[in-house]
Each structure stands twice: as structure tokens, then as C-alpha cells.
Amino acid sequence: MLMNAAVVRLFGKPPVYEAFDIPTPTTPDEMLVDVVAAGLHPRTRSSANGSHYSSTGKLPMIPGFDGIGRDPDRELRYFILADTHLGSMAEQALIDPRRSVVLPADTDVLTVAAAMNPAMSSWIALRKRIAFEPGQSVLILGATGNAGQMAVQIAKRLGAGHVIAAGRDPERLAALTALGADTTISLAGDPATTDRSLGDAAAKVDVVIDYLWGVATERTMPAVLTHRADKGHPLTWIEIGSMAGLQITLPSAWLRSARLQLVGSGQGSVSAEEIAGELPALAAEISTGAYTIDAVATPLSQVEPTWNAPVAPGQRIVFVP
Ligand SMILES: NC(=O)c1ccc[n+]([C@@H]2O[C@H](COP(=O)([O-])OP(=O)(O)OC[C@H]3O[C@@H](n4cnc5c(N)ncnc54)[C@H](OP(=O)(O)O)[C@@H]3O)[C@@H](O)[C@H]2O)c1
């Protein structure tokens, strides 16, 4: 039996919409769902070009590691897939119901499909990866992206005392104040001014949520460390994304000069069980409609021309089979 799917046959080439074998459940823990919506997240792109750390390297592959589907009882489920080459950008997908959550029938599927992944990054990091305490101060690097924007709101929702949002896009940065940012810092201006602003604002920061890494972190980390009001005060730096580069050079002195703890948060460093355990609360949170995301519904048949087409800041493509 065949279905239509987005299929990658060569890493580096956009997926092509074509017929593909419908996967068959082989264990009681597998369930076939009719996919309703699947977001095109940065990780989906890196998995599809073979560069994500969770990539199986297997070809042909169907991209998509999360989505919303209708189960055999016609209930809506948000699901996250295990590392697999049979992803969610298809008419049907094989899910593990233990890594899914049933959604109310009136769920806005486009919003939930677009928002769950970016929102989960900070939700999981602050609730499961570190011992975050209400009242603590949080700096978000890359706050102008979808995950960063969500992080501003989620940090506040989880009780952050002060949220500093740092990013490049001036309009998106300015809009973060209304979403809860107490301070905004442009990463686009004169580097010396940015470093001074970051240092001053982050002198007492407790937690950094870093979506950038690469050259951006190489610049911001020393700016923050050298301006610590109390070098012995703990600073937890959570690496979550790598929009500005996959690697950094980390001088040993940075680790000695302040009480810095560097951790990562994502699938692997947080267990599948812990992530699954957070899905109901996060899905309920997103369904309140309090989190803004610009979900752009796109027919899955348009996957090939859409894949590398430019996207306006803040937009998140959601493929609809
Ligand atoms: N580990 C996890 O659990 C997890 C979960 C979700 C996402 N992530 C990761 O988090 C990152 C962000 O995801 P997202 O959904 O927010 O993506 P997104 O909506 O595409 O936003 C990415 C933002 O990164 C900024 N950016 C890109 N290159 C930059 C650079 N060189 N310097 C400074 N800013 C730069 C851009 O902001 P400007 O418009 O201001 O330039 C862009 O809006 C990705 O790496 C993603 O894989 C990780």
C-alpha cells in the first residue's frame, strides 16, 4: 500500500513529493496515524540534510520528527517520533503513543504543530534540565526567533524575576517587551556597544538560554563572564540551538573565571520519558492561545518548492498532507 510523502533521496536536496510505502506497525507500541499537520522546524531541516546529531543517516528518508495526527479512534494526537527515517511529513506516520498526547477535538492544529517544538525547548530546559527557581534572572540569546520568543514568555510564566532578550531583528526585538522581556539588547549593532550592554544587563543573570552558539556565543560569553557582579555566583548556560554556528572555541579561562556551568538541553540530554511527561502540560499551555506564532499552512504537495524558499521572520511553515 502506498501513501504520498515528502521523500529525501539525497542529503542536501529538498524532499520530493512522491509515493512511498505506508509503514506497518510491528509491535504493540506502534500506532499508525493519519497526519494532519507537521511543522518545518530548524531541526527538521538539519535532519533532512543529514547534519542533525539524531540523524540515522538512512536514505530514502521522510523528514519530520513531530506532528499532529488522527489515531485509529479518530482522536487528535500531538506526537514526537523517536530517531527514525520514517518521519511525519507524509499522509501517514508510525508513532509511539507513549510519546504523544491526545488533544481536544477543537484544537487549533496549525498553531499547536507550529508552536510545540519551539516552546518545548525552553519549557523542558527550565523544568527538566536545570533546577530553575522562580525569581531567577534569565538571558535569552536568539530571542527574536520562534523558540526565543516563546522562551521569553515561558521564562516569565515559570516565574523568572527578570528576562533579558537579545537578538538581531529590530522589529521582533522591540515586540518582545510586550511579551514579557524586561530588557532588550540588540546583537546587530556596534559590537563594543553590544558587549557593554550585555555585560551590564547580565551582571547578575542566573541562567542563559542560548539558541545561537558559534560566533555569537564566542562573543557574548566573555562579555557576560567578565562583567559578573559576583564571580562566585552560579551561572548556568544552557546550549539549545546553533543558529550562528555548530562550534565554538572555548578558552579554558572562561571556565575558571566565573562559576560557569555549561549544559545542553534537547532530545538525549533530557530523556524521552521526561519529554513525554511534559507534553500534556505544554500542549495545554499552548492551547490557551497566549503564545503567538505565525503558522503558515502549506500543502505537503508543495514541499519541494517550499523547502528552501525564504520565510518571513517569525513564520513557521506547517505542512498539511
Ligand atoms: N534543543 C531543543 O530542544 C530545541 C528545540 C527547538 C529548537 N531548537 C533549536 O533552537 C534554534 C532556534 O530555533 P527557532 O525555532 O527559534 O528557529 P527560527 O524561528 O528559525 O529562528 C532562528 C533565529 O535565529 C536568529 N539567527 C540566525 N542566525 C543568527 C546569527 N548568526 N546571529 C544571531 N542570530 C541569528 C534569527 O534571528 P534574527 O531574525 O534576529 O536575525 C532567527 O530568527 C535552532 O538551532 C533549533 O534547532 C532546539
Class of domain 131-264: alpha beta
Which residue has the least CA distance to atom 42 on ligand 1?
A: 145
Please state, in angstroms and rounded to a whole number, the distance separating the CA atoms of residues 219 and 179: 26
What pLDDT was estimated at residue 179? Answer: 96
CATH topology (fold) of 2-116+272-320: Quinone Oxidoreductase; Chain A, domain 1 (3.90.180)
Q: Are 40 and 57 in contact (CB under 8 A)?
A: no
- pLDDT at 301 exceeding the cut of 90: yes
Nearest CA to ligand 1 atom 45: 241
Nearest-angstrom CA–CA distance, 195 and 170: 17
Domain boundaries, the chain: 2-116+272-320, 131-264
Q: What is the mean pLDDT of the chain?
A: 95
CA 167 to ligand 1: nearest atom: 40
Between the CA of 238 and the centroid of ligand 1 the distance, in Å, is 14
| Alpha helices by DSSP H, 25-125 | 42-48, 109-124
Outline where DSSP puts E strands in 147-190: 162-167, 183-186
Give the distance (Å) from ligand 1 centre to CA of residue 212: 6
The residues near 57 (Cβ < 8 Å, ≥ 6 apart) are 50
Lowest average pLDDT, out of 20-24, 66-70, 139-143, 199-203, goes to 199-203
Q: Model-level pTM? A: 0.95
pLDDT tens readout for residues 190-217:
999 999 999 999 999 999 999 999 999 9
d(CA 101, CA 192): 47
Q: Residues 74, 59: contact at Cβ < 8 Å?
A: no
CA of 71 from ligand 1 middle (Å) equals 32
Closest residue by Cα to atom 1, ligand 1, is: 266
Output the nine-digit C-alpha cell for 40.
518545518
Q: What are phi and psi of 165, to 5 degrees?
A: -110, 125
